[in-house]
């Protein structure tokens, strides 16, 4: 017992000695350091550490993002970062601006500097954040001559609200919105000034905007210059305004965008010019610079399914000087040979309606059969809104099948006739709110198409076939994006047709479908284990996309899908599912993609994973 007590006494004594040694080391280091409240003037001090204290409204990384003064990294090969007093002064101003932009106008920033041995410097930034200023009143002055509807629009456009927190960013944005609305309603030469009166006793702000609208103006004459091969009428028909209309800056911008979207010009400039004889009129100078009227592209490529390929694209702009475009596409790959021609006539009946006509030849190669197709088609598309398009079309095609497996025989009842003639109507729509073509971060895409193929318009078989695809993109914070794709397919023979041709059925599996499974691997199979497709399809993908280093990004995904032989049959328990990870590298033509898909419910005797390399997101 005495021995145990003696050991406890020794342990307590050792703890006290160790604590005393640590305290002495700390005191010794502090005695060697020099503490300053003003920035040191030396230019060779390495920034060792930056500590930010007193934060409540912001996180430390948000403050650090405003600073150019950075800490020298710890690894040996890192570039030394030296302290600069001028840069530090600018950092303090940037931090104060951040607080002022968010309504905190009494913020105080006090940096402290500790000079350490070996010419190192620690920086402590003390922050006194102060209080938010609330808006007591907002006035728009000199608006007596404006009508009530326009006044209401101006007030509704403000980013600031009475009793809300004042923000300098929102104050500037509100001024910009006022100018934009005035310019859209005939006051192109309007000017807006303003002032903010701060009351530090009540912590309130009064906001005033002063208008100088100038005269109400209208569109005048339109003068077109720079045209050589494009007829002037093709340009002016894209304008969404007419002479003597009330001037609108937004209509001017939309007209510029529509003319540029024709594809005929390198540049399009629409410039309002004051009429010296009539201050209420703005003449429009429309200047264009024509581009070469052809575009030829030839290049190799590689895909997980069609392997090595070569593609060619030739586009003739303003074909026949009618304002339409002619496109010729060719592709040679392991799975497909394609030669296709399309002519697109914009402004078919009005500016919202286009006509598309084309002919094409296609040869498809699969494991057990080959298909040759010759087709011609016509389609009318119409823009109902800026995000919603619809189409109506007719297509006729002639298909021939060649069976490559000796066990197979031609059987129309099984969808394997030697020849097919398909004559069908198609209708559909697309609703699209995404902006980035290659790598969308927000918005959604709805695409629906329906084929009606009756025998009485020349088809050798009759069927209905529909497909609906939905894509959804939602940012989670500033960096991460949640992406979801879901697709349903439906097909069934009608009238006296026994089945649907195999090439009109649904298939799933592959790099753009359910990753982890081979191309067209999911769904019904014949006695020789060949995929024969189904009449119903359900598949989708869920991805979490995030960056991690410069142009590199990562993806975590969950895929699901199945093809069913039954019509209008969708079974959740029968879905095949996979999980995986992916790597992305951003390029000018879209992200380079590497995906690893792992099957959660693999078929017996099949490999459990697949690796895919391609260009572009999976969806």
- The pLDDT value recorded for residue 301 is 85
What are the Cα distances from residue 6, in Å, to 13, 19, 49?
11, 20, 45
User: pTM to 2 decimals?
Assistant: 0.74
Give yes or no: residues 91 and 27 share one domain: no
SS3 (DSSP) at 335: coil
Residue 40: predicted pLDDT: 80
Nearest to 252 by CA among 295, 285, 209: 285
Q: Tell whether the model's pLDDT for residue 2 goes beyond 70.
A: no
257 in the same domain as 369: no
Task: Give the pLDDT confidence of 548-581 residue by residue, as tens digits.
Answer: 888 899 999 999 999 999 888 888 999 999 999 9
The b-or-e profile of 495-507 (16+ CB within 10 A means b, else e) is: eebebbbbbbbbb
Q: Are 420 and 461 in contact (CB under 8 A)?
A: yes
**Residue 344 within a domain:** no
**Which of 228, 259, 290 delimits the end of a domain?**
290
pLDDT of residue 17: 59
Nearest residue to 363 via CA among 326, 389, 336, 340? 336
- Reported as a pLDDT band with limits 50, 70 and 90, residue 34 is low
The answer to whether residues 364 and 336 touch, using CB atoms and an 8 Å cutoff, is: yes
Q: In the listed set 160, 195, 212, which residue is the last one of a domain according to the structure? A: 212
Please tell me the predicted confidence (pLDDT) of residue 28. 45
Q: For the residues 439-447, what does the mean pLDDT come to?
A: 94
For residue 327, is it within any domain?
Answer: no
Residues 173 and 65 in one domain: no
| CA separation for the pair 513, 485 (Å, rounded) | 10
Whether residue 203 is contained in a domain is answered as yes
Q: Does 318 reside within a domain?
A: no
3-state class of 407 per DSSP? Answer: coil
Q: Report d(CA 370, CA 550) in Å as an integer.
A: 45
User: Which of these, 366, 365, 361, 371, lies nearest to 401 by C-alpha position?
Assistant: 371
Please indicate, yes or no, whether residues 272 and 383 belong to a single structural domain of this protein.
no
> Are 491 and 572 within one domain?
yes
As a whole number of angstroms, the distance between CA 111 and CA 40 comes to: 11
In terms of domains, do 558 and 486 share one?
Answer: yes
Residue 138 sits in the same domain as residue 116: no
Count Cβ atoms below 10 Å from residue 143 Cβ, excluding itself: 18
Residue with the two structure tokens 């077109």:
224
Same domain, 13 and 64: no
The predicted pLDDT at position 16 comes to 59
Q: Where are the beta strands (DSSP E) in 455-497?
A: 463-476, 480-493
Q: How many residues can be counted in the chain?
A: 619
Residues 6+ apart with CB under 8 A from 20: none
Query: Is residue 594 domain-resident?
Result: yes
d(CA 154, CA 136): 18
462-499: per-residue pLDDT in tens? 999 999 999 999 999 888 999 999 999 999 999 989 89
Question: Do residues 44 and 154 share a domain?
Answer: no
User: Has residue 31 got a pLDDT over 70?
Assistant: no
Q: Between 28 and 8, where is the model more confident?
A: 8
Report whether pLDDT(3) > 50.
Answer: no
> Is residue 495 within 8 Å of 455, Cβ to Cβ?
yes
Looking at the fold, whether 205 and 224 belong to one and the same domain comes out as no
Q: For residue 593, how many other CB atoms are within 10 A of its CB?
A: 20
Rounded to whole angstroms, the Cα distance separating 482 from 229 reads 47
Total domain count, the chain: 5
Would you state the pLDDT for residue 38? 79
CATH number at residue 590: 2.40.160.50
Q: What is the pLDDT of residues 175-230, one digit of tens each?
A: 999 999 999 999 999 999 999 999 989 999 999 999 999 999 999 999 999 999 99
pLDDT-derived band at 13, boundaries 50, 70, 90: low
Q: What is the pLDDT of residue 14?
A: 62
CA separation for the pair 618, 431 (Å, rounded): 20
Say what the pLDDT of residue 568 is: 80
CA angle 372, 374, 378 (to 5 degrees): 145
- Answer whether residue 29 shows pLDDT above 50: no
Domain boundary among 71, 106, 128: 128
What CATH code is carried by the domain that includes residue 222?
A: 3.10.20.310
Supply the range of the domain harboring residue 12: 1-31
pLDDT of residue 12: 61
Residues above pLDDT 90, as percent of the chain: 70
- Per the prediction, the chain carries an average pLDDT of 90
Q: Is the residue at 317 inside a domain?
A: no
Least confident of 305-309, 395-399, 408-412: 408-412
3-state SS string for 124-176: EEEEECCCECEEEEEEEECCCCCCHHHHHHHHHCCCCCCCCECCHHHHHHHHH
Residue 500 contacts residue 493 (beta carbons within 8 Å): yes
* pLDDT(304) > 50: yes
| Same domain (yes/no): 139, 236 | no
For 357, counting Cβ atoms within 10 Å of its Cβ (0-12 exposed, 13-18 middle, 19+ buried), the class is middle
Is 100 contained in some domain?
yes
In a domain, 354, yes or no: no
What number is the average pLDDT over the span 143-148?
Answer: 92
Burial class for 321, CB neighbours closer than 10 Å (0-12, 13-18, 19+): exposed
Instruction: Determine the Cα–Cα distance for residues 292 and 254; give it in Å rounded to an integer.
Output: 24
490: helix, coil or strand? strand
Distance from first CA to last CA of the chain, Å, rounded?
A: 75
Task: Quote the CA–CA distance of 105 and 102 in Å, as a whole number.
Answer: 9
Report the candidate in 521, 511, 522 with the shortest Cα–Cα distance to residue 580.
511
Q: Are residues 138 and 109 in the same domain?
A: no
pLDDT tens digits for range 225-264: 999 999 999 999 999 999 899 999 999 999 999 999 999 9
């Amino acid at each position: 017992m005495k021995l145990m007590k003696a050991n406890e006494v020794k342990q307590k004594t050792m703890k006290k000695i160790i604590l005393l040694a640590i305290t002495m080391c700390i005191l010794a280091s502090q005695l060697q350091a020099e503490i300053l409240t003003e920035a040191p003037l030396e230019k060779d001090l390495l920034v060792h550490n930056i500590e930010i204290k007193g934060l409540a409204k912001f996180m430390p990384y948000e403050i650090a993002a405003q600073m150019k003064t950075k800490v020298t990294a710890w690894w040996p090969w890192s570039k030394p970062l030296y302290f600069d007093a001028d840069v530090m002064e600018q950092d303090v101003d940037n931090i104060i601006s951040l607080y002022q932009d968010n309504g905190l106008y009494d913020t105080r920033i006090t940096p402290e500097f500790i000079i350490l041995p070996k010419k190192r410097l620690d920086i402590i930034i003390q922050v006194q954040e102060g209080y938010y200023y609330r808006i007591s009143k907002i006035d728009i002055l000199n608006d007596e001559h404006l009508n009530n509807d326009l006044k209401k629009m101006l007030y509704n456009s403000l980013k600031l609200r009475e009793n809300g927190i004042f923000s300098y960013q929102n104050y500037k944005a509100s001024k910009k919105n006022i100018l934009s609305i005035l310019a859209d309603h005939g006051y192109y030469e309007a000017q807006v000034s303003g002032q903010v009166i701060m009351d530090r006793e009540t912590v309130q702000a009064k906001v005033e905007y002063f208008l100088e609208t100038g005269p109400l103006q209208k569109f005048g004459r339109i003068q077109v210059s720079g045209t050589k091969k494009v007829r002037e009428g093709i340009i002016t028909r894209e304008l969404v305004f007419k002479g003597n209309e009330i001037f609108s800056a937004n209509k001017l911008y939309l007209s510029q965008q529509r003319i540029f979207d024709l594809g005929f010009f390198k540049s399009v400039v629409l410039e309002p010019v004051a009429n010296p004889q009539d201050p209420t009129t703005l003449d429009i100078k429309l200047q264009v610079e024509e581009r070469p009227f052809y575009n030829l592209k030839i290049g190799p490529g590689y895909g997980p399914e069609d392997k090595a390929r070569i593609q060619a694209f030739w586009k003739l702009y303003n074909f026949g000087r009618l304002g339409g475009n002619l496109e010729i596409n060719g592709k040679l790959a392991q799975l497909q040979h394609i030669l296709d021609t399309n002519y697109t006539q914009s402004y078919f009946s009005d500016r919202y309606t286009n006509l598309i006509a084309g002919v094409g030849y296609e040869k498809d190669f699969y494991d057990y059969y080959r298909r040759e197709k010759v087709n011609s088609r016509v389609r009318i598309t119409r823009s109902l809104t800026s995000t919603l398009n619809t189409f109506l079309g007719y297509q006729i095609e002639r298909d021939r099948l060649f069976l490559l497996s000796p066990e197979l025989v031609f059987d129309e009842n099984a969808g394997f006739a030697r020849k097919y003639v398909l004559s069908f109507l198609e209708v559909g729509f697309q609703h699209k709110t995404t902006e980035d073509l290659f790598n969308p971060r927000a918005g959604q895409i709805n695409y629906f198409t329906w084929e009606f193929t009756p025998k009485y318009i020349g088809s050798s078989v009759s069927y209905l076939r529909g497909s609906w695809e939905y894509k959804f993109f939602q940012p989670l914070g500033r960096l991460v994006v949640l992406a979801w794709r879901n697709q349903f397919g439906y097909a069934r023979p009608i009238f006296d047709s026994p089945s649907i041709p195999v090439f009109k059925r649904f298939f799933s599996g592959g790099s753009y479908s359910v990753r982890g499974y081979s191309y067209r691997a999911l769904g019904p199979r014949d006695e020789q284990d060949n995929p024969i497709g189904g009449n119903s399809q359900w598949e989708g993908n869920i991805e979490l996309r995030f960056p991690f280093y410069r142009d590199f990004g990562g993806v975590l995904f969950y895929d699901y899908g199945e093809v069913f032989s039954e019509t209008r049959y969708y079974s959740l328990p029968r879905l095949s599912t996979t999980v995986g990870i992916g790597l992305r590298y951003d390029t000018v033509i879209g992200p380079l993609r590497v995906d690893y898909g792992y099957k959660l419910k693999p078929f017996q005797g099949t490999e459990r994973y697949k690796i895919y390399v391609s260009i572009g997101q999976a969806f």
